Amino acid sequence: MPEAPARHHMVRVDPASWRAHLAGRPDLEGLPLVADWAVRGWPLVVRRPTGGESGIPLGLPLPPAEGKRRLSFLMEPSAILSTAPPPRLAAAASAAAAAWQPTLRRLVDLDPETRTFGSLAWQHLTGLTYLSPTSDIDLLWHLDGSAERLLAGLAAIDRDAPMRIDGECLGAGGMAVQWRELAEGTPEIMVKDARGVALMPRADFLAGVGC
């Protein structure tokens, strides 16, 4: 592949490459679901690399019933069958409980392109049980010049939501900011990208997305 997939993207791995990789990971032997993960066509998620890693850094969170362990992997680019952004909230919403549905509809109405990662995404993609009554929802928004309208809408929905609404606003170059921090309006904000985390003037971040 010409470049590493973006953080939060979902990656499907060739089953033969997966088996070969697991053969060198005795620490994972006997863990439920892991051996057949790629065979079932379930994805892994791109994570931020740590220092000195070589390869595509991926993560696999096991569901709560299986210990909720967060497993890390490094795969060669040749092992990757496909990559895709995390699913749209509109597509994943049916995997959530009925109590969440009014809030999810409001979130989709606010921005139909909202995407979800975390427990709701994993439950939608695998059919396994990741959500519990105390789960948060993790969302992604691509800013395109309407950041202040989006943030005001999120604050209004968040006030009476049955779950905690977490997530990141994505700006230029893959930079990401927690929506709550961006909504606070402080002059400096904490920005994540593929390289790490740094402080950045809020105005500069918003200028990069045309706001």
Q: Which residues are catalytic?
A: 136, 138
Give the Cα separation of 159 and 197 in Å (integer): 28
C-alpha triplet 132, 136, 211: angle, nearest 5° = 160
Which neighbouring-strand residues pair with 73?
58
Taking a C-beta distance cutoff of 8 angstroms, is the pair 129, 164 a contact?
no
Assign residue 52 a region (left: φ > 0; alpha: ψ between -120 and 50; beta: otherwise): left
**What does the alpha-carbon distance between residue 191 and residue 204 come to, in Å, rounded to a whole number?**
11
Q: How many CA atoms lie within 13 A of 159 on its CB side?
A: 5
CA dist., res. 136 & res. 26, Å (int): 33
d(CA 144, CA 41): 33
Angle at CA of residue 162, ends 160 and 64, nearest 5°: 155
